Amino acid sequence: MSERKAPSWLRALDIIIGLIAIILAIVVLIYPRLAVLTLIFLLSIALLIIGISRVAIGISAKYLSNGLRAISTGAGILAIILAIVALLYPRLAIEVLILLLAFALLIHSISRIVIGGFAKVFPSWLRGLLIVVGLLTIVFSIIIFVFPALGFLTLVFILSIAFLIIGIESIVSGITGTRR
**Which pLDDT tens digit goes with each residue over 27-69?**
878 877 665 677 778 888 988 999 999 999 899 888 888 998 8
pLDDT at 134 over 80: yes
Which of the two residues, 159 and 164, has the higher pLDDT score?
164
* Nearest Cα to Cα of residue 46 among 15, 90, 79: 79
* Phi, psi dihedral angles at 62 (to 5 degrees): -65, -20
What percent of the chain is predicted at pLDDT more than 90?
17
Which of the two residues, 77 and 105, has the higher pLDDT score?
77
Does an H or E element contain 31, and which?
Answer: none
Concatenated DSSP letters of 111-128: HHHHHHHH-TTS-HHHHH
- For position 128, what pLDDT does the model report? 92
Query: In a 3-state reduction of DSSP, which class is residue 7?
Result: coil
Which of the two residues, 1 and 165, has the higher pLDDT score?
165
- For position 3, what pLDDT does the model report? 57
Total residue length of the chain: 180
* Nearest Cα to Cα of residue 155 among 72, 100, 95: 95
Predicted confidence (pLDDT) per residue in 87-117, tens digit: 888 766 577 767 777 888 889 899 989 989 9
Mean pLDDT of the chain: 83
